[in-house]
Amino acid sequence: MQQTNYISQSVLDEYATKQPDFGPLGEGIFQRTYSRILPHGGKETWWDLCKRVTNGNIAFNPSRLIENEADELFKSLFNFNIIPGGRMIFNTGTPKNLVSNCFTNGPGKSLSEHFSVAFELLLQGAGVFNGPVTA
């Protein structure tokens, strides 16, 4: 997925060679849980993730972007000054962009389709309500 870049090139260049301070457990958790596989087969670095999440968040409403907001968001993420929820870290800026917390799963065309959709959403970390929707 081609993503619009809102972060200045100077900030990206400045952080390209910096190593994040993961602490004793952070890097393993990042690699296991949040680092996505890239199209060339490698895995995201923390820099890649911060760029994806920053641009993905700004893309929700780019018309509201204020000066230096993307740069400051990227730096804050990279330096662990702010940490979004895990679902946001893993999904923001991806084609599915599943950042909602909860879904309603209707009956579907068949029982297997119903459970297949519910299972896929649950595997992606979403909550699923499996009941009728009433107004």
Q: Are 3 and 59 in contact (CB under 8 A)?
A: yes
Residue in the structure block whose two tokens are 């909602």: 100
pLDDT of residue 100: 61
Summarised one tens digit per residue, pLDDT across range 53-104 is: 999 989 888 888 889 999 999 999 999 999 988 888 888 888 876 666 666 7
Q: Are 42 and 82 in contact (CB under 8 A)?
A: no
What angle separates helix 69-78 from helix 46-59, to the nearest 10 degrees? 140
Of 44, 45, 52, the C-alpha closest to 7 is: 52
Calpha distance 13→135 (Å, rounded): 51
Calpha distance 113→102 (Å, rounded): 19
Residue in the structure block whose two tokens are 């662990």: 80
Calpha distance 57→59 (Å, rounded): 5
Residue in the structure block whose two tokens are 């952080």: 15
Of residues 21 and 117, the one with the higher pLDDT is 21
